[in-house]
Amino acid sequence: MTTGGMPSGSQGCLVGFSKPTVFTGASAMFLLVYLALWKYHDSTNPLLASASSLPGDESRPLPGAHSPRDFLEQIMSCDLDEPKKKNVFLEKNKSMPMIYFVTPTYARSVQMAELTRLGQTLSSVQALHWILVEDSTKCNPVVGQLLRRLGIPFTHLASEMPAAYKKLKIPPRGVSNRRAALKWIRRNVKQGVLYFGDDDNTYDVRLFDEIRDTRNISMFPVGLIGDYAVSAPVVHDGKVVGFYDSWPAGRRFAVDMAGFAVNIKLLHQFPNATFIYEAGFEEDSFLQEIVTDADFIEAKAANCTEILVWHTRTVQVPAAILQPPTQTLTETSISGLLRRLNDLQLATISSKGKPSSVHYLTNV
Ligand code: UGA
Ligand code: MN
């Protein structure tokens, strides 16, 4: 048994097609059937069907070479049909600044566990809009279902890491996604506070009270970073005068992505500020563009002595490849369970996979 895979899973089918000599009648038949199924899949999935380029988005990958700064990502917007929940809260609570929480995410076996945990943390925060950006050409419907279940205001986008960077030994993770979110915010949001929260970190809900009144840029410690177990601004007389971080690496602002928040007015004041595609230097590149005066930095979390965010990392578990049990499957939950494992990226089901079996309690 094979269950229907993720939408992008079977695109490789078109690859061997460049050799006309092997293009037989049988393969033409196969191609036609494949194309028909592909079209059917897309048009029946409401999320994929509603996906389109951002309104007014002219972004396309530039042909040929580009600098790590000037690449133009393609962005998919996957929630255009969503009812506009996002302004309900604002209308009721005009005085409370909205927090725009930007999360880059990518497909892997632990993804749905990470997003479930993070989403449930965010559900308990008032006036928060979650911008979730998948590192992909299209949005995963299972991720979209989670977002809708949570019931919080959200924006669901997709923007894939450019192919050239995927090949690097240390690729710049989450950059195209965060750049896409910056574009979306600049187009759609005038005021509020921006925070970059990766999907695997741990957030103390007190963090949101701290960053909500960010006037320009606020900074605070992040636990579990590098050899010092922390990356933290150093405060003297209420001002940030340096950084306690075991990897200075020539950076002016030696901070982690989770260690700062920005007032959205700065994004409009500096319309070109963005992240560069260079692992380890993303934060510094962005901050150097928007922090013109170090005196503007607001120290949070008890003058940068408290830890309200942790750079936790989840062990990566490869997805299992499973053969369905050979025992009678009809009328048991097994086929439904295996389909769900496939949807959640926990396992792929294949006749070539690892044999599996059920230990029955009773005869069925
Ligand atoms: C650290 C920082 O905390 C990141 O903010 C920074 O982007 C990264 O280093 C870097 O400099 O490359 P780290 O924990 O090492 O992050 O990296 P991950 O947690 O694996 O990735 C950061 C974020 O990007 C996550 O939210 C992850 O889901 C996302 N990501 C990762 C992608 O969107 N695509 C990928 O291929 C990998
Ligand atoms: Mn991480």
Ligand 1 contacts CB of residue 114 (under 6 A)? no
Ligand 1 contacts CB of residue 284 (under 6 A)? no
Query: For position 143, what pLDDT does the model report?
Result: 98
Q: Are 24 and 45 in contact (CB under 8 A)?
A: no
Say if residue 15's pLDDT is above 70: no
Q: Identify residues whose C-beta is under 5 A from ligand 2, the ion.
A: 198, 200
Q: Which residues of 19-52 are buried (b: 16+ CB within 10 A; e: fewer)?
A: eeeeeeeeeeeeeeeeeeeeeeeeeebebbeebe
CA-nearest residue, atom 16 of ligand 1? 173
- Tell me 354's DSSP state: B
**309-310 and 230-236 beta bridge pairing:** unpaired
Tell me the per-residue pLDDT of 70-111, one tens digit each, with 9 for 90 and over: 788 889 999 876 665 554 455 456 689 999 999 999 999 999
Query: For position 73, what pLDDT does the model report?
Result: 83
Does 283 participate in catalysis according to the annotation?
Answer: yes
Distance 174 CA to ligand 2 centre (A): 10
Share of the chain above pLDDT 70, in %: 77
CA-nearest residue, atom 20 of ligand 1? 173
Mean pLDDT of 20-41: 39
What ranges make up the beta strands (E) of 211-308? 217-219, 222-223, 230-236, 239-244, 260-263, 297-299
Where do runs of H (alpha helix) occur along 24-174? 25-44, 46-50, 86-92, 111-123, 141-150, 163-166
Say if residue 225's pLDDT is above 80: yes
Query: For position 45, what pLDDT does the model report?
Result: 30
Query: For position 61, what pLDDT does the model report?
Result: 40
From CA 47, how far away is CA 289, in angstroms rounded?
36
Query: For position 69, what pLDDT does the model report?
Result: 81
Tell me the per-residue pLDDT of 233-284, one tens digit each, with 9 for 90 and over: 999 999 999 999 999 999 999 999 999 999 999 999 999 999 999 999 999 9
Say if residue 67's pLDDT is above 80: no
Distance 311 CA to ligand 2 centre (A): 6
User: In this structure, which ligand is nearest to the CA of 195?
Assistant: 1
CA-nearest residue, atom 32 of ligand 1? 174
Tokens of 201: 């970190």
Ligand 1 contacts CB of residue 104 (under 6 A)? yes
Q: Quick one: which atom of ligand 1 is closest to the CA of 175? A: 7
Q: Which of 11-15, 55-59, 61-65 has the lowest mean pLDDT?
A: 11-15
Tell me the per-residue pLDDT of 146-166, one tens digit each, with 9 for 90 and over: 999 999 999 999 999 999 999
State the Cα torsion 69-73-78-82 to the nearest 10°. 50
Shortest CA distance to 223 belongs to which of 183, 256, 250?
Answer: 256
Task: Give residue 232's Cα distance to chain centre.
Answer: 24
What confidence category does residue 28 fall into, taking pLDDT thresholds of 50, 70 and 90?
A: very low
Token match 């600049």: residue? 186
Query: For position 66, what pLDDT does the model report?
Result: 64
- Looking at the DSSP bridge assignments, the partners of residue 131 are 102, 155
Residue 239 carries which side chain, given as an amino acid letter?
K
Higher pLDDT pick, 93 / 65: 93
From CA 217, how far away is CA 194, in angstroms rounded?
9
Q: Quick one: which atom of ligand 1 is closest to the CA of 280? A: 11
From CA 4, how far away is CA 255, in angstroms rounded?
42
From CA 196, how far away is CA 74, in angstroms rounded?
20
Q: Among 114, 134, 169, 173, name the best residue to mutate to test ligand 1's pocket (greatest count of ligand atoms within 8 A of Cβ).
A: 173
Q: Quick one: which atom of ligand 1 is closest to the CA of 105? A: 28
Helices (H) and strands (E) in the chain, counts: 12, 16
- Which is the catalytic residue, given 283, 289, 298, 331? 283
Query: For position 7, what pLDDT does the model report?
Result: 32
pTM confidence score: 0.81
Query: For position 94, what pLDDT does the model report?
Result: 67
- Tell me 319's DSSP state: P
From CA 313, how far away is CA 256, in angstroms rounded?
14
Query: For position 95, what pLDDT does the model report?
Result: 81
Residue 335 three-state SS? helix
Ligand 1 contacts CB of residue 172 (under 6 A)? yes
Query: For position 256, what pLDDT does the model report?
Result: 98
Tell me the per-residue pLDDT of 215-224, one tens digit each, with 9 for 90 and over: 999 999 999 9
Query: For position 83, what pLDDT does the model report?
Result: 62
Looking at every residue in the chain, the average pLDDT score rounds to: 83
From CA 235, how far away is CA 230, in angstroms rounded?
15
Q: Among 110, 195, 198, name the best residue to mutate to test ligand 1's pocket (greatest count of ligand atoms within 8 A of Cβ).
A: 198
Q: Quick one: which atom of ligand 1 is closest to the CA of 257? A: 5
Q: What burial class does residue 289 get, using C-beta atoms within 10 Å of its C-beta: 0-12 exposed, 13-18 middle, 19+ buried? A: middle
Q: Are 173 and 42 in contact (CB under 8 A)?
A: no
Say if residue 26's pLDDT is above 60: no
Residue 5 carries which side chain, given as an amino acid letter?
G
Tell me the per-residue pLDDT of 109-137, one tens digit each, with 9 for 90 and over: 999 999 999 999 999 999 999 999 999 99
Within 13 Å of residue 308, how many CA atoms lie on the same side as its CB?
Answer: 22
Residue 85 three-state SS? coil
Mean pLDDT of 286-311: 97
**320-322 and 52-53 beta bridge pairing:** unpaired
From CA 339, how far away is CA 361, in angstroms rounded?
23
Tell me the per-residue pLDDT of 184-216, one tens digit each, with 9 for 90 and over: 999 999 999 999 999 999 999 999 999 999 999
Token match 């690859």: residue? 15
Distance 103 CA to ligand 2 centre (A): 11
Shortest CA distance to 285 belongs to which of 277, 293, 294, 276?
Answer: 276
Q: Quick one: which atom of ligand 1 is closest to the CA of 133? A: 33
